[in-house]
Structure 1
């Protein structure tokens, strides 16, 4: 028996009947020989962790555009917080922790520079729109590894695609990630907003804090406990009172942070910047060599969109300056 087979036997003996067993995976689009050490979901996690798109998340905006300070969240630290929360829930429910982690680490690979402002800009430019969760799947299926993709299992790709809105994931692990994502970003965005002087935790209405708690750690603990205690029957959900307070907290954050004119002042510049880059890159001669293959297969606008979506905030700014800002003349 290989190490992988032994791990899969342990999964079968110890995980919940609602868990996704790695031995029962729906597989990959391109069949591969099994690893002797790692299960398919462990291999997917490792592939995501080592890919270029994952590394670029460290320089992509979470909520606050180009914040000055080392302690604000980036898309990468958000991803790690989602992974930690999701794994805690999955372990408590005896779900497949490896699948949960793989989905968590891959869920935001397709996020644009400048956060949701960049996503909205590309959505306005692209025929058919742009959605970061679809782009995340496109990255792992087609863009990574010079067009070969990561060849991930069906369950991981489905969890990535369904991590935000619309259809629920086919696995409970994917459904856990969807809620862990929301738990993570709402609570760490409060922390970042307080650091930025946009709000204070004491501003959160008493009707919310009396149910969820007044501090970030208390709120996360309350939400995670409620999820675990109410999901033992294979339906991922919270206690109705907790869910209602959580929804109110989301609405509060939308009004006081996500739509806050001070916090979002710089975002009004993003559509012009993204639009200018898009216009420049729609000329084939301006695309980098590795994106010309995409242009030939899917069209020049798709290639320009893919290239921009993959940029970090820093790279997008530098490219814009290089193209459109006059340089000093050195004699």
Structure 2
């Protein structure tokens, strides 16, 4: 009889989780079989692997909406990730889904995001022949790039949730489907708050028909959206029709007013050109890549290896590299 702490946790999951939840003991496993941990379930182990990896730490210096903001209170890709995780765990707990699986997916969902947010993603998608999508790159990070190419060797359920957290095919688990909603709830509300902080939006400019349903202020809106998920989800994750319609109106408003605002986006074309220029530089001169990325090029092709290199950069590192390659350095001799 297995009497480890992990086995007791697995037994507790079977006794307490919803029939729609995924128990860690029922995972479809890892790409490379490994001995189980005596203390943690497989999903808890995945969460810890993501939390301690280099790609997770780099998120603190990657753009969310405003490029390299100088104020202390704007979101970065890291703070966005933490807010997604908090919202997702709250809903998972209320629905009795697997919190460890939910948190692992949430913490890993943006590991493959580029510097300069979606501007960097658009640039790589434009120039790379095979295209570029940050959610697929996030899976590539955990499979092949982390730990010097060994990857994090995560479970199928976490990898599937990361790959399906945005558009297209729904995740196979309710935990993965939940993270997709939590991502939307987080970014629409913190982007509103950041836009107000930046002075490009006022709270009273938000569409009245959305505010009337969701509430005024970030806390009210998040509470309404979370409550709607809790009250309407069962065999699938879903919001009530009225709340979801109000969310969609608010989302469209943000795209029309904030996400295309010339103040918020005035530097994005420069960021895109910077990424495109760096991409072309390394594709035309593969020897300029480090040995690690040259090995990736041998295995996956040069275009993909260059995308791996650029997408892993922070905003500051990409700018510094561009300056080193293309901006003349002044002579400092005696």
TM range (shorter): over 0.9
Aligned equivalent of 1:22: 24
Aligned equivalent of 2:276: 275
Report the Cα offset of residue 289 of structure 1: 2.0
Matches of 1:280 and 1:267, distance apart in 2: 20
Query: How does the TM-score come out when normalised to structure 2?
Result: 0.98
Could you tell which deviates more after superposition, 284-293 or 181-190?
A: 284-293
Partner SS, residue 262 of structure 2: coil
Aligned equivalent of 2:104: 102
Aligned equivalent of 2:124: 122
Partner SS, residue 214 of structure 1: coil
RMSD between aligned residues: 0.7
8 Å Cα contact 2:135/2:162 also seen in 1: yes
Q: 1:156 aligns with which of 144, 158, 164?
A: 158
8 Å Cα contact 2:129/2:303 also seen in 1: no
Report the Cα offset of residue 80 of structure 1: 0.1
Matches of 1:271 and 1:217, distance apart in 2: 34
What does 1:20-169 align with in structure 2 at a 5 Å threshold? 20-169=22-171
Aligned equivalent of 1:206: 208
Q: 1:329 aligns with which of 316, 328, 331?
A: 331
Partner SS, residue 55 of structure 1: helix
Query: How does the TM-score come out when normalised to structure 1?
Result: 0.99
Deviations 1:228-280 (A, max 9, x none): 0111x222111100000000000000011111122100101122111111122
Deviations 1:111-136 (A, max 9, x none): 00000000000000111210000000
Deviations 1:10-34 (A, max 9, x none): 0000000000000000000110001
Partner SS, residue 145 of structure 1: coil
Matches of 1:163 and 1:201, distance apart in 2: 29
Aligned equivalent of 1:182: 184
Matches of 2:332 and 2:39, distance apart in 1: 58
Query: Please, which runs of 5 or more residues in structure 1 have no aligned partner?
Result: none
Q: 1:319 aligns with which of 318, 321, 324?
A: 321
- How many residues get paired? 330
Matches of 2:118 and 2:156, distance apart in 1: 27
Deviations 1:273-325 (A, max 9, x none): 11111122121211012211101111122111110000000000000000000
Aligned equivalent of 1:303: 305
